[in-house]
Structure 1
């Protein structure tokens, strides 16, 4: 449309409005709607997940360098056979078998594939039958392979991290609570026994309600950590409860429910810091 036509059209509209006795009024501006606040990050936020990995590593390996633990392997005499890798996969509890099977599915003929029959036999026991003497050496060799590192990451997330975060969010818990769930499921698994993660949670629910059920988050987390300490004391190998008492409980007392740095804590008497 040319400028003259545009001007004429504007004049015509004003004329018509005047003829019918109406006054032109400006359009009302759309009402301002405040943007919804961004949801607080969960433990699955990359920065928070990195903190979680360091916290667990401080308790499991006395180091914040969790990526150095891909090669870790030893029998810690807890009745679970070999404990290894970034999350303590065990030859006696099935998660090590699942890990090596995943690695072999992705990379047939890898150095650990030969141990699959033995891992099936020792599952549910603390036996090293068919694994000694070379399994630890070969585990450390495999740990140099990025495919094995990815497999460890993926199994950690599938079996432990993702279920803990999902349950924590469903209970209305923020980052610290999600981490408390994660650390518990790492140590105790989620089976049917009294010290499993699900039964630790049920024990806590008898004393307090989580936020999703209208409860106070701090009160519920105290109840959960109390239940966790009880579960740890049922096993001699886990009877040192400092990963709760001088770590998670410290953050809770500080009101740091989002695990915001700086973080200072102790495990087994050793001090750690994340700035």
Structure 2
């Protein structure tokens, strides 16, 4: 196993490999002596679960007879734990079931959105990995598996995080999802292909109140239908893999289930991921053009056949899977995790998700991070002791203001006659039946 080194006379040292660079991080023995178990019983989430009875919380329950397991046959996958406050992480112990990771990273994060690696290996062999001498800080700790060691998935009996120290205050949100630190790992930064299930039975002080969140498969499907009603005038979001057009918003082509844009980089990253998985696919030849038009509304190198080839690719289940994965990595998982950290239930999680879909995950005044910042200047989040309805109204007000700055998004009905309706009904758990209108067209979900 590729474990951190022990250097005589220097205490513990971590071997951190990122790309082709290997760094030894030294930690004095006194720090190791004060470490405590931080993760047991803490709230946990994962990119997927093989079965509802194999949820991520089972890797943090202190019981070696229970386990978390991801979906079989899919890379990458991840499992994350919320430590409840910013901690210094010095030691991670992993007890693998037969389905182990050959290549994985241990990462920390202040906000559950942007991640920093503290350990990496490409030669895991299962059993028990006792990773001592780590040096990282964060409220969240994640295992990110990029290559399975078996034909199955990833499975852990126990994932123990040790460390010390508490930094007071709520972590700030970056409003953006970070990619891997190595260019070659761009595809590995995607969460799994399926709807996630948290499986958590313990709530942190800042977690959303009890009730199914948007990681629940049914809730996630409702969220996708709501977005599709606004983006495609249809509840059939799975029919949108083949969608592509230029809607004249300055972002070039908009396409797929989430509106990947040729001018904003996410379409490029999607096609890169698809090409890594299916070399020589029908869209691979457009990669140079997509890199060239990124940041503009240009179609140079894409016309006239790109739309036709996109629709051809959309019949490939591997391309559909890539769209699902990029949706989750860039938009769904970061927004839902941030909403949960802010103490919001399913409705608030959806409100965040819809905002990041339209405005992107940046920090500008008209991006998700800027909208959230403007809302927090007006009202406290539930995690800060504020009223949930008051905060969400402030967020929607800030979002409407951002939408009105762009002519293509100036129709705010997806907020006014949809999300605000659910909020006024105090349907914080986003439970059906749901009725709403977008652009004057009525929609409903009965159950």
Which interval holds the TM-score relative to the shorter structure? 0.7 to 0.9
TM-aligned CA distance change 1:36 to 1:158, over 3 Å: closer
CA distance in 2, matches of 1:240, 1:44: 29
2:366 paired residue number = 195
The residue that corresponds to 2:326 in the other structure is 155
1:117 matched to 2:296? The reply is no
Match of 1:102 among 261, 269, 273: 273
Alignment match, 1:166: 337
Give the aligned partner of residue 63 of structure 1: 234
- 2:306 alignment partner in structure 1: 135
Q: What TM-score do the two structures reach when normalised by structure 2?
A: 0.53
CA pair 260-134 structure 1, distance change in 2 beyond 3 A: same
| Correspondence for 2:353 | 182
Moved over 4 A (4+): 35-38
Alpha-carbon deviations, 1:219-265, whole Å to 9, x = none? 00000000000000000000000000000000000010010000000
What is the CA deviation profile of residues 29-79 of structure 1, one whole-angstrom value per residue up to 9, with x for unaligned ones?
Answer: xxxxxx989931111110100000000000000000000000000000000
Corresponding residue for residue 217 of structure 1: 388
Pairs aligned (count): 241
Match among 30, 46, 55 for residue 217 of structure 2? 46
Choose the corresponding residue for 2:430, options 236, 256, 259: 259
Distance 1:44 1:220 in 2: 22
1:85-120 per-position Cα deviation (integer Å, ceiling 9, x unaligned): 000000000000000000000000000000000000
- 1:186 aligned counterpart, secondary structure: helix
Cα distance in 2, alignment partners of residues 134 and 179 from structure 1: 35
Asked if residue 268 in structure 1 is aligned to residue 439 in structure 2, the reply is: yes
- Residue by residue, what CA displacement relative to the aligned partner does 1:199-225 show, whole Å, maximum 9, x if unpaired? 000000111001000000000000000
Correspondence 1:237 to 2:408: yes
Q: 1:45, 1:242 → 2: CA distance?
A: 26
Distance 1:235 1:190 in 2: 17
Cα distance, 1:154 vs structure 2? 0.2
Aligned to 1:10: none
Distance 2:358 2:384 in 1: 26
Tell me the distance in 1 between the aligned counterparts of 2:373 and 2:389.
17
From the two aligned structures, give the one with the greater strand fraction: 2
How far apart are 1:192 and its partner, in Å? 3.4
Gaps of 5+ in 1: 1-34
The reply to whether residue 247 of structure 1 matches residue 418 of structure 2 is yes
More helix by share: 1
Distance apart, 1:266 and its partner CA: 0.2
Partner in structure 2 of residue 92 of structure 1: 263
Equivalent position SS for 2:245: strand
Residue of 184, 204, 209 corresponding to 2:375: 204
1:78 alignment counterpart: 249
Give the gaps of 5 or more residues in structure 2: 1-200, 204-208
Per the normalisation by structure 1, the TM-score is: 0.86
Q: Give the superposed CA RMSD.
A: 1.3
Q: 2:398 aligns with which of 204, 227, 241?
A: 227
Structure with larger Rg: 1
Question: What is the CA-CA distance between 1:272 and the residue it aligns to?
Answer: 0.2
